[in-house]
Amino acid sequence: MIAVVEIAGKQYKVAPKTQVQVDLLDGKAGDEITIDKVLLKSDDDGKTCQIGQPYTGDTLKAKIIEQVKGEKIRVFKFRPKTRFAKTKGHRQKYSILEIAEF
């Protein structure tokens, strides 16, 4: 079974007992969350498919495995002939979810 869900304004294709990395969510590692924005739900064979308008009304259970940081991104700005050079860094925070049975 697969589903397309909306989490934090973005769409993800999920399946039971798989892990997905999403933008940072409120909560700690080990917390259970409920996802009620299911856009599409389909069987493994693909013969039966339920499409929402906009949502199907189903809910999924997920567990927050951990909160992690992504790789560091370096931003370098440079303007020639003005002695301007500036370096900044950024690390995006993510939550790793494990999808339960749905």
Local confidence band at 71 (pLDDT 50, 70, 90 cut-offs):
very high
Instruction: Give the whole-angstrom CA distance, residue 89 versus residue 13.
Output: 30
Res 96 pLDDT > 90: yes
Q: Is the pTM of this model over 0.75?
A: yes
Res 29 pLDDT > 90: yes
- Quickly count: other Cβ atoms within 10 Å of residue 25's Cβ: 16
Res 73: pLDDT: 97
Token output for 95: 């939550």
Which one, of 25, 32, 27, lies nearest residue 9 by Cα?
25
What average pLDDT does this structure show over 9-37? 95
What average pLDDT does this structure show over 87-97? 97
Res 16: pLDDT: 93
- ∠ CA 80-84-86, nearest 5°, is 120
Residue 95: exposure state from Cβ atoms within 10 A (0-12, 13-18, ≥19): buried
Local confidence band at 101 (pLDDT 50, 70, 90 cut-offs):
confident
What average pLDDT does this structure show over 35-54? 89
Local confidence band at 83 (pLDDT 50, 70, 90 cut-offs):
very high
